Amino acid sequence: MTDWESPQTLGLQASALQKLAFGLFGLYLYEFTTSLTFDWWLIFKKESQRRSLLAQSVKWLYIACRLLGLIASIGIVASSTPSEKLPCSAINKTVNIASLFGIIAATTLLFVRVGSVWRWDKRVTVVFLLMLTANTALSIYSTVQIRSFYQFVSITTPACPISGFNSNIPNVFMNLVTDTGLLCMLFIGLRRWGDARAFGLWNLLWNQGLIYVALFVIVDLPFLVFLFLDLNGIISIMFSLPPALILPIAATRFYRSLTSFTDSRQTYETISIPPAPSRPKPASTLRKPYLNLAFHRRGVEDNANVDESLSAQTFVVILTVESRRASAG
């Protein structure tokens, strides 16, 4: 049976952790640099400045998610290549808080689309805000509990092992529950728009939801399992790296795919939702939400964009489609 605390095992795991850290850092750095042009447009272009307050808030949430992922990736590399001059405890606390808040930002970006599909239903919003508050508090608590120090885990391998890392169990579990609930609400909300399946927006949101399900099952569940097993600090850290970087990458890519397209024409798809009845009606007389689509063609633009106008009655997403579809409209 494997001795998870033996110097030989810890040395091999520390070496594997270092390779994984550099690999994920390279992946995130590539993702970050290749989309800097979009970030520049989002922050400084006049078109993006004329958006609603909600759209502006979501924009800065996207930027925060990107920056938190970058901070976490740099800290991960620093903690996996320790030296006596580096403050191990401060670095690992920074990595932990940046990773957890990056995941929270990614979850909030997911909630924005759920909120729009559900017309910002107060019950959905209140439940999410309560879970978000609990997640934030648990993330801060777990970061305070973490301790780390420089030592040689084997004769030739220095490392910054962490104690108290399993204090992340409550917030990781809470985040898993939150993501699961949001994705269920997204799919239920989209199924209410069964007549819209032929249109790009519906399929885009549905497919992105399926991808997010696959990602958090692949990266979040193993992390939670190994936190419960608590084999050693290095193993727990190793399984914490993928969710810390991959989930923010997925969330920010989904945001960009809804905000910017590369074709030369634009089509407006407007989904109108009738107001909720003020008085209860018999089930037989209740009307299902209807879909009202209006197509308008515009001239060629260098940077096609999507502006999400989210309100209680409608939300409008400007989608770029192929020229032949625009002509057919």
3-state secondary structure 123-177: HHHHHHHHHHHHHHHHHHHHHHHCEECCEECCCCCEECCEECHHHHHHHHHHHHH
Residues 200, 287 within the same domain: no
**How many domains would you assign to the chain?**
2
CA distance 200 to 319: 8
Q: Which residue has the higher pLDDT, 277 or 133?
A: 133
Give the Å distances, CA to CA, from 174 to 90, 97, 135, 140, 252.
25, 16, 6, 14, 21
Q: For residue 2, tell me if it sits in a domain.
A: no
Residues 180, 37 within the same domain: yes
Of 149-158, 171-180, 301-310, the one with minimum mean pLDDT is 301-310
pTM of the model: 0.76
pLDDT value, residue 242:
92
- Burial (Cβ within 10 Å: 0-12, 13-18, ≥19) of residue 297: exposed
Residues 286, 178 within the same domain: no
CA distance 120 to 123: 9
Average pLDDT over residues 20-30: 94
**pLDDT per position as a tens digit, 59-91:** 999 999 999 999 999 999 988 887 777 788 888
Domain boundary pick from 237, 259, 281: 259
- Does residue 277 carry a pLDDT above 60? no
Q: Which residue has the higher pLDDT, 150 or 181?
A: 181
**pLDDT per position as a tens digit, 132-170:** 999 999 999 999 998 887 777 666 667 777 888 888 999
